[in-house]
Structure 1
Amino acid sequence: MSVQLETPSINSTPKLPYAVEGLIQVFTTSHRNFFTSVMAQSLRLAGQGTSVLVVQFLKGGINQGHEKPMRLGQKLDWIRCDLPRCIDTPHLEDSETESLLHLWQHTQKVISEGKYSLVVLDELSLAINLGLIPETEVLSFLAKRPPNIDIILTGPEMPKSILDIADQVTEIRRSQRP
């Protein structure tokens, strides 16, 4: 009795018994903070060949905007709002509001296209809390994102609704010094 083994064709893709699902991670604190560990993780993954996008919604000052992403290495794109200053108030000029909304729309578009495997949405909670980006819109976007993309959200006082859907929540606290 001979056993015939099936040889896969060269063009066939092996099927995994499971789907890889991206995580929603949150890094939050009670104060405005630069999340060094998140940026280090982004650089490390990009250096290993993972496509990464870092979006800083409230940072400005370098006339960048989504049309001119900063490229760090071959795999990390870093974009900021096209603003002359950093945003720290809900009271924006019309041009600032327009720039922020363009960046938010662009971010949603490139994520839905699946161009990046990891996306960092820096200070998104502050944009929500200032009333600049609607919380319901963010929740809808997170629910509809391609399932294999990892999303990291950072910022102070992350809304409870986002904490509730996060796979991982890291809260940064200041230590009490004697």
Structure 2
Amino acid sequence: MVAQLESPNVNLTNSLPYSVEGLLQVFTSNHRSFFTSVIAQSLRIAGQGTSVLIVQFLKGGIRQGYEKPTRLGQKLDWIRCDLPRCIDTPHLDEAETESLHQLWQHTQKVVREGKYSLVVLDELSLAIHFGLIPEAEVLEFLAKRPPHVDIILTGAQMPKSILDLADQITEIRRTHES
């Protein structure tokens, strides 16, 4: 039985009577306290053997860049822009714009290649809102992703066009005052 599973002539994916379609999930909030639950979900999935990529578009400060991913366990890669600071404004200098552009291009490439089964795109909505990543490019990226890839988008001010595509929308609201 093991030899049959390891045989290069056996393709279990095509022999299934159904196909698994990836989900588009959106986590949104005006508060920044929800990312922990997304990370916990990502770690749990990676721990079960699924390849996961976390991309933080607006976080910097550690001079990481996509060429130097932080690896958590065997299945989770975490990348950020190669910047000395976090992006909190739409006004970037040329080096910052280039770093963000390279991260976005790299993300699209590895998703198209199907390298990861779950991809978390943190604060992508704010990058769109700032005009740093065109909304039309994001919509095209989502439409052309491999069908098995799950995508989680996070951030406040998620565009309606993306919300309309989402399979699941989680909105974290604070209804009490501390």
> Does TM, scored on the shorter chain, surpass 0.5?
yes
Which runs of 5 or more structure 2 residues have no equivalent in the other structure? none
Equivalent residues of 1:55, 1:120 under 8 A apart: yes
**Structure with more of its chain in helix, by fraction:** 2
Equivalent residue, structure 1, for 2:109: 109
Equivalent residue, structure 2, for 1:83: 83
Equivalent residue, structure 1, for 2:41: 41
Letter in 1 for 2:58: L
The Cα of 1:35 is off from its aligned counterpart by 1.2
Equivalent residue, structure 2, for 1:97: 97
Matches within 5 A, 1:163-178: 163-177=163-177
Task: Give 1 or 2 for the bigger CA radius of gyration.
Answer: 1
Deviating more after overlay: 69-78 vs 28-37? 28-37
Identical pairs, percent: 77
TM-score by length of 2: 0.92
Letter in 2 for 1:100: L
Q: How far, CA to CA, are the matches of 1:151 and 1:91 in structure 2?
A: 28
CA RMSD of aligned residues (A): 1.6
Deviating more after overlay: 168-177 vs 24-33? 24-33
Letter in 2 for 1:27: F
Q: How far, CA to CA, are the matches of 2:152 and 2:173 in structure 1?
A: 18
The Cα of 1:34 is off from its aligned counterpart by 4.7
Equivalent residues of 2:53, 2:78 under 8 A apart: yes
Residue 147 in 1 paired to residue 129 in 2? Answer: no
Equivalent residues of 1:33, 1:156 under 8 A apart: no
Letter in 1 for 2:115: K
Q: How far, CA to CA, are the matches of 2:128 and 2:33 in structure 1?
A: 16
Q: How far, CA to CA, are the matches of 2:80 and 2:175 in structure 1?
A: 31
Equivalent residues of 1:118, 1:151 under 8 A apart: yes
